[in-house]
Amino acid sequence: MSINSVAVVADLGESYGNYTIGDDEALLGLVTASNIACGFHAGDPRVMDATVKSCVERGIELGAHPGYPDLVGFGRRLIEASEEEIRTDVLYQIGALDAFARIHGGKISHVAPHGRMGSIAQTDAKHARAITDAIKAYDPSYIVICQNGLLADESRKRGLEVGYVFLADRGYGEDGMPVSRNTEGALLH
């Protein structure tokens, strides 16, 4: 993925344990890049391993999709955390996915914070700093995938490349941000 390209991306690897979430096999035939759950909001080591392997075999770009430690809420609930907790949680998740990428001959190209963590980082400086500090420390070549806002600003301040996401299945407000899932017209079918 480069700053001057368009990628068709799907969130993948969200199954865990005995629970199957999504249809990764069908999506793998449609996408050029992936956001792979890193085990906190969804996914587990076996799912991460299989998802990375499938993506590498098909030439699909690998992206880390770190989120809050919130399996019950699928990472969509705000978790009160310090800046250090957010930074180390993101760092931990990127490192976990990178281990699988390396053993399968792949490389992570981008990081796309998941759910509430990613949304809050657009307007909360603590989240934006923590996420970008983790990414910059781990691999400053990673592209930060986000909406326009503080996360993009903090990424640029640290010399990180930014890629903007457009969610085709979501409604958008006048501010250019996806509307709350609880709002009429939030999910497009």
**162-164 and 143-146 strand pairing:** parallel
- Model pTM score: 0.90
How far is it, in rounded angstroms, from Cα 131 to Cα 141?
Answer: 14
* Mean pLDDT, rounded, for 105-131: 97
Question: What pLDDT score does 8 carry?
Answer: 87
Residues 1-52: pLDDT tens digits?
555 677 889 999 999 999 999 999 999 999 999 999 999 999 999 999 999 9
- If one compares 87 and 171, the residue with the highest pLDDT of the two is 87
List of domains in the chain: 9-164 (3.20.20.370)
